Structure 1
Amino acid sequence: MEKTDTTIQSIKQKLYKSGFKLTPQREIILKVLVEKEHLSAEEIYLAVRSEHTGIGLATVYRTLELLTDLKLINKIAFQDGIARYDINNSEHNHQHHYLLCLNCGKIDEVEQDMLMDIERKIEKTYQFKIKDHRLTFHGLCGECLIQADNDQ
């Protein structure tokens, strides 16, 4: 719970600096995002709705849009076309890299940015200033690999 409180307090300060308040609805939505990552707007709505029936889907969408615009959360779209959200814990501007299991849909994050050398080379070679990059590896997670071996 301490991580949740610290993260929400940090976001609250960033909201205030941007001229916004941390409303009770926004706080409830943020708590869901801190507790579980890579949820769609609908999944966030269902989690919120189970305890707070007064929050509508439109409020969830507006909150996610605001938090994404302020770069407080990340909006990630994978091959299924569904946007998913997580808290932006990064001190830098880059997104995490992701491992997407093609079998079960599990998503893991690779937090290390191993592409810095490649970025520098691209910037120098092409006279191009990189602001961000996104990388998703598609494959099978460890659990699905074990299951596939057992099925054979």
Structure 2
Amino acid sequence: MDLEMRDRWLNRAQDRVAGAGLRAGAARSAVIELLAREGQCLLIVAELTQMLRSQPVGSAASVYRAVDELFELGLLHRLDGRDGVARYEIADPEHHHHHLVDEGTGDVVAFADQEFERAIHALAERLDVELTGHDVVLRGRRRS
């Protein structure tokens, strides 16, 4: 776990939630704390709900609602899988990675590649676009 990323995202999340006029309810606070610790790569809401089982967060619907609110505030990235399940991770402008979905196994693998990042930024320049973010999901089957 990247502790600097955790702390940076936690502070940003608390500021955004307060700035949006949302109260710091038990479910939302617990989800934010959990995502700061565990959400640096993809999680499904059912996993979050399971991890929060021992805490007084209300119903699973409260967890789903909190995740939806955080996504709407731009605090989470969402990857919609072909299995119909959305996966979430914290959005941090200083830390970026992409994902490869192995269509043979269903595995989702995070990867970072500086040459790929340079190519994306160069493309944005050629298109005369001020790049504010990007999400890339590669899909395929491993050849091994």
Separation in 2 of the partners of 1:107 and 1:27? 28
Displacement of 1:32 in angstroms is 2.4
Q: Which consecutive unaligned segments of at least 5 residues does structure 1 have?
A: none
> Which residue pairs with 1:23 in the alignment?
25
Match of 1:12 among 11, 14, 21: 14
The match for 2:99 is 98
Structure 2 unaligned residues grouped into runs of 5+: none
User: Which amino acid counterpart does residue 74 of structure 2 have in structure 1?
Assistant: K
The C-alpha deviation readout for 1:54-106, integer Å capped at 9, x for no partner, is 521110111111111110111221333310111111159xx742123442614
Equivalent positions of 1:87-126 (< 5 A) are 87-90=90-93, 96-102=97-103, 103=105, 105-110=107-112, 113-114=117-118, 115-121=120-126, 123-124=127-128
Cα displacement (A) at 1:107: 2.7
SS in 1 for 2:99: strand
Cα pair 1:7 1:34 within 8 Å, conserved: yes
Q: If you compute each CA radius of gyration, which structure gives the higher value, 1 or 2?
A: 1
Equivalent-residue separation in structure 1 for 2:64 and 2:92 (angstroms): 21
> How far does the alpha carbon of each residue in 1:105-131 deviate from its partner, in whole angstroms, 9 at most, with x for none?
14314275330111232x35xxx8876
Look up the equivalent residue of 2:136 and give its one-letter code: L
Do residues 137 (structure 1) and 142 (structure 2) align? no
In the alignment, the residues of structure 2 paired with residue 111 and residue 85 of structure 1 have an alpha-carbon distance, to the nearest angstrom, of: 21
Q: In the alignment, does 2:42 pair up with 1:41?
A: no
Q: How many residue pairs are counted as aligned between the two chains?
A: 136
Q: Which gives a bigger RCO, structure 1 or 2 (Cα 8 Å, sep 6+)?
A: 2
Structure 2 CA distance, aligned partners of 1:28 and 1:66? Answer: 14
Structure 1-normalised TM-score? 0.69
